[in-house]
């Protein structure tokens, strides 16, 4: 006989959408004030909640600025501040750095790391950027066509494939080989003609290996 047990948890969650769906005609403060009212934050606590959320994402000095005049990175941080207004236990981030320039992306990463470290909020992040997953995640789950292909700590997933990758082009085909040591990779590279590249294995290598989206890969 099979038994099924269901456990019910009570926690507050919040969603950080992929797009900046803020009201650009309102100030930063007014955007957060509307959200506070929608989530039933008591009037006496609204101003303090706004200041706390803005301080967490480094936007306190932008409080009275029109939201439409913010940079792309600041708008993304405002969306996070809005998601934090009601003190969620779990924060869902949907491709948080999509469309950002490298500097803004790195600044956003710093905000996300500090939120998890300093406030204890659990963060579930979806992304197509493997570098982002590697930098921000303590645990990664690869999903291919709705099925979990692998999961684990980034370091463990990469180590399972080796340490170094050798890349080169042959017969108009791009190939990648994986090695446990740099010495082995260098020895293999010496047998190849043309341009070759040796680098450390990344999460993108793990993803490509698991999903089979890239042809010509072998494990050595």
Q: Where are the domains of the chain?
A: 13-137, 156-219
What confidence score (pLDDT) does residue 211 get? 84
Structure tokens at 35: 């959200």
CA 40 to mean position of chain CA atoms: 29
Burial class from Cβ neighbours inside 10 Å (0-12, 13-18, 19+) for residue 9 reads exposed
Instruction: Confirm if 95 and 130 have CB atoms less than 8 A apart.
Output: no
Q: How far apart are CA 30 and CA 27, in angstroms?
A: 5
Q: How far apart are CA 191 and CA 166, in angstroms?
A: 12
What confidence score (pLDDT) does residue 49 get? 94
Q: If we measure between CA atoms, which residue out of 179, 69, 220 comes closest to residue 59?
A: 69
172 CB-near residues (< 8 Å, 6+ apart): none
pLDDT bracket for residue 12 (50, 70, 90): low
pLDDT per position as a tens digit, 80-136:
999 888 888 899 998 888 888 899 889 889 999 998 888 888 999 999 899 999 999
Q: Which residue has the tokens 């290598």?
A: 205
Would you say residue 62 has pLDDT above 60?
yes
Q: How far apart are CA 69 and CA 24, in angstroms?
A: 8
Of 127-141, 152-166, 204-218, minimum mean pLDDT range: 204-218
**Stretch 155-167: mean pLDDT, rounded?**
95
Residue 151 β-bridge partners: 141
Would you say residue 189 has pLDDT above 80?
yes
Task: Assign domain 13-137 to its CATH architecture.
Answer: 3-Layer(aba) Sandwich (3.40)
Dihedral-angle region of residue 87 (phi above 0 means left; psi in -120 to 50 means alpha; beta otherwise): left
Angstrom CA distances, 182 to 90, 198, 207, 209, stand at: 41, 8, 21, 20
Q: How far apart are CA 163 and CA 153, in angstroms?
A: 15
What confidence score (pLDDT) does residue 7 get? 36
Would you say residue 219 has pLDDT above 70?
no
Of 11-15, 31-35, 191-195, minimum mean pLDDT range: 11-15
Q: If we measure between CA atoms, which residue out of 138, 10, 18, 127 comes closest to residue 83?
A: 18
What confidence score (pLDDT) does residue 96 get? 87
Q: If we measure between CA atoms, which residue out of 151, 158, 145 comes closest to residue 205?
A: 158
Q: If we measure between CA atoms, which residue out of 1, 56, 11 comes closest to residue 32?
A: 56
pLDDT bracket for residue 55 (50, 70, 90): very high
Average pLDDT, the chain: 86
Instruction: Confirm if 208 and 201 have CB atoms less than 8 A apart.
Output: no
Structure tokens at 156: 């463990």
Q: If we measure between CA atoms, which residue out of 37, 133, 40, 119 comes closest to residue 84?
A: 119
């Amino acid at each position: 006989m099979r038994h099924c047990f269901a456990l019910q948890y009570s926690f507050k969650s919040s969603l950080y959408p992929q797009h900046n769906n803020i009201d650009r005609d309102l100030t930063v403060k007014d955007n957060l004030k509307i959200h506070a009212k929608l989530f039933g934050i008591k009037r006496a606590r609204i101003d303090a909640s706004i200041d706390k959320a803005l301080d967490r994402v480094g936007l306190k000095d932008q409080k009275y600025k029109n939201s439409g005049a913010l940079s792309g990175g600041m708008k993304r941080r405002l969306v996070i501040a809005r998601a934090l207004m009601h003190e969620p236990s779990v924060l869902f981030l949907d491709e948080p750095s999509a469309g950002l320039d490298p500097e803004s992306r790195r600044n956003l990463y710093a905000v996300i790391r500090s939120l998890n470290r300093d406030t204890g909020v659990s963060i579930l992040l979806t992304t197509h950027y493997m570098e982002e997953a590697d930098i921000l995640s303590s645990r990664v789950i690869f999903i291919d066509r709705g099925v979990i292909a692998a999961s684990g700590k980034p370091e463990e997933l990469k180590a399972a494939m080796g340490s170094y990758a050798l890349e080169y082009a042959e017969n108009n085909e791009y190939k990648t080989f994986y090695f446990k040591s740099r010495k082995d990779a260098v020895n293999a590279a010496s047998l190849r003609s043309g341009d070759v590249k040796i680098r450390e294995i990344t999460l993108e290598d793990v993803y490509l290996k698991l999903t089979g989206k890239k042809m010509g890969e072998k494990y050595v």
